[in-house]
Amino acid sequence: MRWTIKPKPTQEDIDQLSKDLKVNGLVAQLLLQRGITNYEEAKSFFRPQLSHLHDPFLMEDMEKAVARIESAITNNENILIYGDYDVDGTTSVALLSSYLLEQYPNVATYIPDRYTEGYGVSLQGIDFASDNDFSLVIALDCGVKAIEQVTYAKEKGIEFIICDHHRPGDTLPDAVAILDPKREDCEYPYKELCGCGVGFKLIQALTLKNGGNIDELIPYLDLVATAIGADIVPITGENRVLAYYGLQVINSNPRTGFKAIINQIKKKSLTITDVVFIIAPRINAAGRMEHGQHAVNLLVETDLDSAEKFAAAIEQFNSDRRNLDQQITEEALVQIQENKEENRFTSVVYDENWHKGVIGIVASRLTETYYRPTLVFTKSGEKLAASARSVKGFDVYNALEGCSDCLEQFGGHKYAAGLTLLENQYETFKAQFEKVVSESIDPSLLKRELTVDAKIELYQIDDKLLRIIKQFAPFGPGNMTPVFMAEKVQDTGYAKCVGEDEKHLKLSVFQNGSPNFGAIGFNLGDKLERVKNKNQFGIAFTIDENEWNGTTTLQLKLKDVN
């Protein structure tokens, strides 16, 4: 890894904030690095309030969306809530459908089949709406580029409201309303909402229009927090407020579906990291292995016995998904090695038998291994479908735009995208993608970067510092867990490899007569020789706790050793 230390604010600014907040200089530095410069900003950061949320009517087309939904209810129309099959999509559908069903019965949900319909608004979904007399479709986490589909729907007498957070194309669909903070003409102050976040702004607007207040919507925030974590959007601004309160709901009064999952995993208090790595994969597994509607059914269920049956089925989907993604990852790694492609700027692999539901996970695994922009292809009907993943600092979406003449369709974000192409275009695309990336990527981005907040001495670490850092949560993009580095540390002689295949490094470190700190470095077993024999070395780490036999002690969680 290459370690990059964040710029240190001026000593004058550190001293001023330290004085204003009555905190030490290190805490002041960490806050300044997060854009917090005064008492009021610190108060908002440490004590997020629902009153900090923006007026939903600042979003372009919100008035139109609310008016159209109210008109549908007044005229007794059938409303179809349509969403993508991933966590953001299924939580969005669960959120809006359960909200509307509280006050109006003619509401149904639709999740496209990953394999027969693919991502986004499908013609099959519109035919379903037409066949079942739905005159209004509200699309969540998709739709901003569904120009042909929305036109097709309009020809059938079906109108669309789109709630999306992906980048629009040059032309917008002919929908009644398009709620998307990334629209160029949208002046909404916060641009980084996930799809479920946009859905939440819609129910906030509907509630305000009917004289309600934000507190009524707190029970929906477990869904929003889960989508924020799963979709890896920045946990800043509004997302921080929504995630903060959503985690409180998950841990104190979760909806029945979440309760059923939590009962299975038997974990008491969940952080946003737990949501990302424990709850989200289970919700995602439904769409990957079977059908996303199973996830919606779980998330809207109010009977615990029924929810636990849904959760048990989803647990099996997740187990199957884990086995498949491990198998396909191994096959993909062999393919890269056999084709002698280790020295390319990209990884592009294909097998027609790979399961479409897990190629995104496999792409992430390959990116971790080779650390370069990666695409994993499989057969999808008459075409090939792929999931793309990128490395920090490189926009894979823009790279795909540079290859668009080879593609049937594509969409996504800077770091994750999906695409389809004709099989006879695969080799051409593979060569073109390699060319575009090789000509546009800064080679330094192909070495994993570890961002360090501050260089410190070990004596600065104590229980009080950890207590304050815990209040920085929820952590995520834009507000990551603080990473520190310390130089010229030594092991006490305790260092050893632990765990399966002895992959992990366990040691006890000190520096210049400081107290000893236990440290654990996951997947750092190969650093054992570096830290033995009283060698001096550098560590990058986060501060954590270790519970053992009822005793809790401070522990350093190592990110790297040099």
112-135 pLDDT tens trace: 998 888 889 999 999 999 999 999
**Residue 118: per-residue pLDDT:** 80
CA distance 206 to 59: 13
The pTM (predicted TM-score) of the whole model is: 0.90
Q: What end-to-end distance do the CA atoms of the chain give, in Å?
A: 9
Give the separation between CA 274 and CA 271, rounded to whole angstroms. Answer: 5
Sign of CA dihedral 140, 146, 151, 153: negative
| pLDDT score of 517 | 97
Give the pLDDT score at 339.
86
pLDDT along the chain (562 residues), means of 10: 95 98 97 96 96 97 98 98 95 98 97 88 97 98 96 98 94 98 97 97 98 97 96 93 97 96 86 92 90 95 96 93 95 93 92 93 94 96 94 95 93 87 96 97 94 97 96 94 98 94 95 94 96 95 90 95 96
DSSP lists the bridge partners of residue 416 as 389
**Would you give the distance in Å from CA 104 to the centre of its chain?**
32
Residues 6+ apart with CB under 8 A from 377: 348, 349, 350, 351, 354, 359, 384, 385, 386, 426
pLDDT score of 412 = 78
Domains within the chain, CATH numbers bracketed: 56-313 (3.90.1640.30), 339-446 (3.10.310.30), 450-562 (2.40.50.460)
- Order of strands, sheet of 107-110, starting from the edge strand that comes earlier in the sequence: 107-110, 78-83, 134-140, 159-163, 177-179
**Phi, psi at residue 385, to the nearest 5°?**
-120, 145
Query: What does the CA dihedral 286, 270, 484, 458 come to, rounded to 10 degrees?
Result: -150
Q: What is the pLDDT of residue 343?
A: 85
Backbone angles phi, psi at 85, to 5 degrees: -90, 5
pLDDT of residue 290: 87
pLDDT of residue 232: 85
Radius of gyration of the chain, Cα coordinates, nearest whole angstrom: 25
- Quick one: which H or E segment has residue 163? strand 159-163
